[in-house]
Structure 1
Amino acid sequence: MLSAAVSAGCSSQAETAPAATPGVSGPGTGTPAATGHIGDTLTLTRADDSTIAVTLEQVINPATVTSGKHDPASTYLATKLKITDPGTAAIDGNVNINVTVFGSDGQNYTADLSNVSECANFDSGGFDLGPGESATGCVVFALPHGVSPTKVKYAPSSGFAEDFGEWTLS
């Protein structure tokens, strides 16, 4: 659904990936607007000033990769998220781009895009929600063996929004 709306030019709220520039601060790099723990819902402001409510429902660690190649030197985990549109206009985006996991080694990890048996991905990461609608799915990460997840970050609008939230996993 997301790709059709973006390619047709029908949505001004589509989320696209920003260029990565290590060591440079910008939107989504300061203090989180909201913090919580597993089970908490964080309501965040997107780049277009609409809002999104995100619940970290579960962290599945380890998760079992079902298909495709996987790295035998990695432990896979899945973050199960519920995305809700609390506003009055439709929103869309890509959860795989918006979510980051922080590891006990001080590194940040982006989505691995693998599928796992414990839960389904969103529509290849995409969501397209009307007011009051929600979607639940998982974002998968590959962490080196011995590295534990310490927190999960959600940065709306692919990190272009000033707002972001974090869930502490300890």
Structure 2
Amino acid sequence: MRRLWLPLAVLGLVVPALAGAGPSGETIPLEGNGPGERLDVTLVQVVDPAPAEGPGDVPEQDERLVAVQFRLKNTGTAVYKDSPQNGAYLLDTTGQRFAGSPRATAAGAEFPGLVTVRPQDTALGFVTFEVPRDAEPAAVQFAMNSGFADDVGQWALGSKT
């Protein structure tokens, strides 16, 4: 499992300024690094816990899978070609930041390794995260260009309690 341990206060130094922040379901417009790269990104749903798709996808005993579904609408003039899993992160209430996991879930169709979205077209898919069983997801972030774009969208997640 890839896990980045960063307090939320440090994220401002690691992640460029947030392009938008909002609750789950909100669409946030983002710009990529190249000319004409623009997406409207919507956090569609969060499945927590997400069932593993197969025996090889079952997480360690002290961990669980969380699947987050995004809708990517290309509102720019350039073709968007990227790996959405690389630009998505889940943050928990303690400030830990989790990158996408290669494990598959039965929550729904995941983004393929490489997504190509032509201008005005849309792609829909899940990104899976592997988190400690007791972690409380607080937010999800997404940035274009495998996470290297300056614009970062962030969605607040509701508490499970």
Q: Flag whether TM exceeds 0.5 (same fold).
A: yes
**Higher percent of residues as strand:** 2
Distance in 2 between the 1:25 and 1:99 partners? 14
Determine if contact 1:37/1:167 at 8 Å carries over to the other structure.
yes
Match of 1:157 in 2: 145
Q: Which residue matches 1:139?
A: 127
Equivalent residue, structure 1, for 2:50: 63
Letter of the 2:15 partner, please give it. Answer: T
Give the Cα–Cα distance (whole angstroms) in 1 for the partners of residues 129 and 68 of structure 2.
8
Q: Are 1:113 and 2:102 matched, yes or no?
A: yes
What pairs with 1:4-153 in structure 2 (closer than 5 Å)?
29-49=15-35, 50-67=37-54, 68-69=56-57, 70-124=59-113, 126-153=114-141
Supply the distance in 1 between the matched residues of 2:146 and 2:29 (Cα, whole angstroms).
16
- In structure 2, do the counterparts of structure 1 residues 25 and 62 end up closer, same or farther at CA, with 3 Å as the change threshold? closer
Separation in 2 of the partners of 1:161 and 1:115? 26
CA-atom RMSD, angstroms?
A: 2.2
* TM-score (normalizing by structure 2): 0.84
Q: Deviation string for 1:72-108 (max 9, x for gaps)?
A: 2101110011111111221111111010000122110
* Aligned residue pairs, count: 149
**Residue aligned with 2:46, SS:** strand
User: Which 4+ runs in 1 deviate beyond 2 A?
Assistant: 22-28
Could you tell which deviates more after superposition, 128-137 or 28-37?
28-37
Task: Give the TM-score, by structure 1 length.
Answer: 0.80
Distance 1:129 1:115 in 2: 22
- How far residue 121 of structure 1 moved from its aligned partner, in angstroms, is 0.8
| Range with bigger deviation, 55-64 or 153-162 | 153-162
Between the aligned partners of 1:117 and 1:159, the Cα distance in structure 2 is 25
